[in-house]
Amino acid sequence: MVAFLGGEIGRQVEKSRFLNIIKQTNQTPPQKFDYPQTEAQEIGWCTKPLIEPLLTDYSLHHPKKHTEITKFMDAYWRQKEQSTDHT
């Protein structure tokens, strides 16, 4: 159909089709399709948690904490990994 449209209208149709294709390629699979297309996509298809975590309940929520000693040991281990000869 596009081949029969001549001049400016044909170029606008081609341009809009091209832009739609580009927009679709930038989407994630759940944005493109309603259901997984392969069995491998079934894992991780629904990434939203069923229940929002309670961040105020400290018995369930353990945030990562950085203290002076943990920062020091992190830097120490990084330096040790870089200086070790892996041959």
3-state secondary structure the chain: CHHHCCHHHHHHHHHHHHHHHHHHHCCCHHHHCCCCCCHHHHCCCCCCCCCCCCCCCCCCCCCCCCCHHHHHHHHHHHHHHHHCCCC
At 46, list the tokens.
């629904």
Q: Of the candidates 59, 61, 30, which has an alpha carbon nearest to the alpha carbon of residue 43?
A: 30
Reply yes or no on whether the pLDDT at 68 is more than 80.
yes
Residue 30 burial (CB count, 10 A): 15
Residue bearing the bigger pLDDT, 60 or 25:
25
Residue 21 has pLDDT above 50, yes or no: yes
Instruction: List the structure tokens of 58.
Output: 């400290």
Residue 2 confidence class, pLDDT cut points 50, 70, 90: very low
Confidence at 17, pLDDT banded by 50, 70, 90: very high
The answer to pTM > 0.85 is: no
Q: What is the pLDDT, as a whole number, of residue 11? A: 86
